[in-house]
């Protein structure tokens, strides 16, 4: 075990909370802020509610959608497009969107979760069609084009490394030849895996995909070790990428997930490899982003719901019966129990919640809940009243700005600039959305929920001060959003015991099905006679394309 792994494992074992709990409240008195965005109390109602009271009213509808994240919203859209209006969507929070919601500070929109969508490839026709519906994608002179106003403007990425900013996030400034050689070696491996055809987004239900999952059934760090890839800069970058997409690092996610991050997108471009760099920069690999992040998409999905949306509802119980489904919910505003009677229910809830509320949960649901691990996240939105000063020289301010760190307390993923897409001619006030992936440690989750705002705020400002010495002078307000169970993590256990099993089931079932009215190839949906399960958890990782596709197919 090298020094890198020892640092990472020590951090997890000792508790990722050290950085939060050890931070003093040194922020300037003028900096205000609060916890916002997610109601921890609502999320814990199922733990604390002794017994649900008798329902005060009963409603009847053909279909209930439990959960208003991306999957639930996509399911609602699919029902509407099929002419099905007799449904209700139940959402825990006051606004739909799940991990893709937004807020504003000083009149500036900013994300409190997911902040971009890679331009989807041909493996995601469902997402492509949705973007076309929004006018983001259109055919011009026989070729598909995306509205440039919504594509991320340059410069896109920069890294604070060795005391200065460099373009791109792969450490290159002053690294040794041995490091560059390992970059090139990893690029070759990614290209070999990509040629198998088993890596796409959303995850394909093919023999090649199944073979890749089985072949890469180990922690990513073990795969790197076996390949002799031990360079600390390469490992830092790969760890960053895994924490950015999956919420946990290379010692936790499967080797399949580590390779998938690159092979399902633009590959891995080693410095100086012109062929790979050209492939990476092809137009299809652009990034769609907005000041409010992916809330731009979820708000568009939610607009058409009207009175079919019932927000502020905690789903307490889902019981499948011969003649229908009974769903009991707690109305947060009235503190009363409401009952829904439906012909079917689309369960667009995280797996661990679904397993708790579904009565007589089917074996496959209990099995999935048992083998699904979650990462916790913190998102801090920092309102600054003027442009920040950069430490050192180098690359200009970008949309995505990352600070190179290693060792204990280094879970920060950097920040995105909410005003990057604006047309203003000079930098000025903005909102910086800072992300921190805390991994799967139970101690880190507890610390996230128990540490006061002042200490968490100081930790954020302290990290940003490494690259921006005037951050405390410029910061006006810091709002923090906490996600105790932000996303499922594609661990080797999950990919082997859940994803691989689902692939085998799907090939047998899909051969018997016809193409849907949407003319999309069928996809496997976990289901019983009256329940259909739709959430990105069933894919093992949380990205828009997976959630959207699962939601759509659950409603067909």
> Is residue 13's pLDDT more than 50?
no
| Spatial CA neighbour of 64 closest among 353, 304, 347, 349 | 347
What one-character-per-residue DSSP string does 499-512 give?
A: IHHHHHHHHHHHTT
> Is residue 14's pLDDT more than 50?
no
236-264 confidence digits (pLDDT tens): 999 999 999 999 999 999 999 999 999 99
In Å, how far are 197, 217, 284, 394, 533 from 206, measured between CA atoms? 9, 17, 23, 45, 21
Token output for 64? 């209930």
> What's the average model confidence in pLDDT over 260-281?
76
Asked if the structure places residue 289 within a domain, the reply is no
Which comes out higher in pLDDT, residue 20 or 242? 242
Cα 83–Cα 85–Cα 88 angle in degrees, nearest 5: 145
> What's the average model confidence in pLDDT over 12-23?
42
- The total domain count for the chain is 1
> Is residue 25's pLDDT more than 50?
no
CATH number for the domain harbouring residue 84: 3.50.50.60
146-203 confidence digits (pLDDT tens): 999 999 999 999 999 999 999 999 999 999 999 999 999 999 999 999 999 999 999 9
Query: What pLDDT score does 339 carry?
Result: 97
> Is residue 495's pLDDT more than 50?
yes
Query: What pLDDT score does 275 carry?
Result: 55
| Spatial CA neighbour of 402 closest among 434, 380, 429 | 434
Query: What pLDDT score does 28 carry?
Result: 55
In Å, how far are 129, 147, 371, 391, 508 from 549, measured between CA atoms? 11, 22, 22, 43, 20
Query: What pLDDT score does 10 carry?
Result: 40
Binned at pLDDT 50, 70 and 90, residue 50 comes out as low
Asked if the structure places residue 328 within a domain, the reply is yes
Query: What pLDDT score does 274 carry?
Result: 64
211-231 confidence digits (pLDDT tens): 999 999 999 999 999 999 999
Lowest-pLDDT range of 1-10, 71-80, 362-371: 1-10
Asked if the structure places residue 7 within a domain, the reply is no
Binned at pLDDT 50, 70 and 90, residue 515 comes out as very low
Query: What pLDDT score does 500 carry?
Result: 66
> Is residue 309's pLDDT more than 60?
yes
Could you give the angle at which helices 70-81 and 544-554 cross, rounded to 10 degrees? 40
Query: What pLDDT score does 142 carry?
Result: 80
> Is residue 57's pLDDT more than 70?
yes
Lowest-pLDDT range of 100-104, 512-516, 520-524: 512-516
Asked if the structure places residue 516 within a domain, the reply is yes
> Is residue 471's pLDDT more than 80?
yes
Asked if the structure places residue 56 within a domain, the reply is yes
Helix H or strand E encompassing 448: helix 442-450
What one-character-per-residue DSSP string does 106-166 give?
A: TTEEEESS---EEPP-TT-HHHHHHHHHTTSEEEETTEEEE-GGGBPPSP-EEEEETTEEE
In Å, how far are 17, 69, 406, 459, 478 from 22, measured between CA atoms? 8, 34, 18, 9, 19
> Is residue 111's pLDDT more than 60?
yes
> Is residue 81's pLDDT more than 80?
yes
Binned at pLDDT 50, 70 and 90, residue 476 comes out as very high
Instruction: Give the contacts of 424 (CB within 8 A, at least 6 positions apart).
Output: none
Which comes out higher in pLDDT, residue 315 or 12? 315
| Spatial CA neighbour of 238 closest among 395, 225, 114 | 225
Query: What pLDDT score does 5 carry?
Result: 44
Q: Which domain holds residue 514?
A: 40-100+294-372+491-554
Asked if the structure places residue 533 within a domain, the reply is yes
Query: What pLDDT score does 4 carry?
Result: 40
Task: Please state, rounded to an integer, the average pLDDT across all residues of the chain.
Answer: 88
Query: What pLDDT score does 141 carry?
Result: 83
Asked if the structure places residue 219 within a domain, the reply is no
Per the CB < 8 A criterion, the answer to whether 476 and 32 are in contact is: yes
Q: From start to end of 291-418, where are the E strands? A: 309-311, 313-320, 325-331, 336-347, 373-384, 400-403, 412-417
Query: What pLDDT score does 9 carry?
Result: 40
Lowest-pLDDT range of 137-146, 286-295, 461-470: 137-146
> Is residue 24's pLDDT more than 50?
no
| Spatial CA neighbour of 233 closest among 285, 159, 303, 340 | 159
Per the CB < 8 A criterion, the answer to whether 179 and 420 are in contact is: no
Asked if the structure places residue 506 within a domain, the reply is yes
Lowest-pLDDT range of 82-91, 424-433, 500-509: 500-509
CB atoms within 10 A of CB 284: 13
350-375 confidence digits (pLDDT tens): 999 999 999 999 999 999 999 999 99
3-state secondary structure of 7: helix
Percent of the chain with pLDDT over 70: 88
Cα–Cα distance for residue pair 90/308, rounded to 1 Å = 9
Cα–Cα distance for residue pair 198/496, rounded to 1 Å = 16
Query: What pLDDT score does 520 carry?
Result: 87
Instruction: Give the contacts of 366 (CB within 8 A, at least 6 positions apart).
Output: 355
Which comes out higher in pLDDT, residue 425 or 482? 482
Cα–Cα distance for residue pair 386/468, rounded to 1 Å = 12
Query: What pLDDT score does 46 carry?
Result: 72
């Amino acid at each position: 075990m090298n020094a890198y792994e020892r640092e990472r494992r020590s951090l997890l074992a000792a508790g990722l909370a050290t950085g939060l709990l050890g931070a003093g409240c040194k922020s300037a008195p003028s900096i205000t802020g609060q916890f916002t965005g997610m109601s921890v109390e609502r999320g814990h109602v199922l733990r604390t509610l002794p017994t649900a009271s008798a329902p005060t009213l009963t409603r009847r509808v053909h279909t209930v959608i439990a959960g208003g994240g991306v999957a639930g919203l996509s399911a609602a859209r699919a029902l509407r497009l099929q002419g099905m209006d007799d449904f209700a969507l139940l959402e825990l929070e006051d606004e739909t969107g799940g991990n893709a919601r937004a807020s504003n500070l000083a009149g500036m929109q900013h994300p409190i979760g997911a902040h971009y969508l890679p331009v989807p490839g041909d493996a995601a026709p469902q997402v492509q069609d949705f973007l076309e519906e929004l006018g983001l994608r259109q055919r011009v002179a026989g070729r598909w084009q995306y509205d440039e106003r919504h594509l991320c403007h340059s410069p896109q990425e920069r890294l604070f490394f060795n005391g200065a900013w460099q373009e791109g996030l792969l450490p290159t400034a002053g690294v040794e030849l041995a490091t560059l050689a390992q970059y090139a070696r990893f690029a070759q491996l990614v290209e070999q895996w990509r040629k198998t055809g088993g890596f796409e987004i959303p995850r394909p239900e093919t023999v090649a995909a199944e073979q890749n999952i089985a072949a890469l059934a180990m922690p990513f760090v073990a795969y790197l070790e076996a390949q002799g890839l031990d360079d600390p800069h390469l490992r830092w970058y790969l760890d960053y990428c895994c924490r950015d997409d999956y919420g946990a690092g290379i010692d936790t996610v499967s080797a399949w997930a580590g390779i998938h991050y690159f092979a399902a997108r633009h590959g891995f471009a080693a410095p100086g490899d012109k062929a790979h760099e050209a492939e990476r920069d092809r137009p299809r690999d652009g990034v769609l982003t907005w000041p409010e992040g992916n809330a731009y998409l979820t708000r568009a999905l939610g607009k058409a719901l009207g009175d079919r949306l019932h927000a502020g509802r905690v789903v307490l119980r889902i019981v499948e019966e011969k003649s229908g489904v009974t769903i009991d919910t707690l109305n947060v505003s009235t503190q009363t129990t409401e009952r829904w009677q439906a012909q079917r229910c689309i369960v667009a809830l995280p797996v661990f919640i679904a397993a708790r509320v579904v009565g007589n949960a089917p074996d496959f649901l209990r099995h999935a809940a048992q083998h699904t691990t979650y990462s916790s996240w913190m998102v801090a939105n920092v309102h600054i009243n003027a442009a920040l000063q950069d430490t050192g020289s180098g690359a200009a301010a970008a949309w995505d700005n990352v600070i190179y760190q290693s060792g204990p307390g280094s879970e920060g993923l950097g920040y995105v600039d909410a005003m990057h897409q604006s047309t203003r001619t000079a930098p000025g006030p903005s909102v910086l959305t800072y992300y921190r992936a805390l991994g799967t440690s139970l101690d880190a989750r507890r610390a996230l929920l128990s540490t006061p705002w002042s200490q968490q705020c100081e930790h954020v400002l302290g990290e940003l001060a490494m690259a921006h010495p005037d951050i405390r002078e410029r910061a006006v307000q810091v709002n923090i959003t906490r996600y105790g169970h932000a996303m499922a993590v594609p661990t080797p256990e999950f990919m082997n015991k859940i994803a691989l099993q689902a692939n085998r089931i799907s090939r047998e079932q899909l051969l018997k099905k016809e193409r849907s009215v949407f003319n999309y190839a069928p996809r496997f949906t976990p289901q019983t006679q009256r329940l259909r399960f739709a959430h990105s958890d069933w894919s093992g990782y949380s990205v828009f394309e997976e959630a959207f596709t699962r939601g759509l197919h659950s409603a067909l």
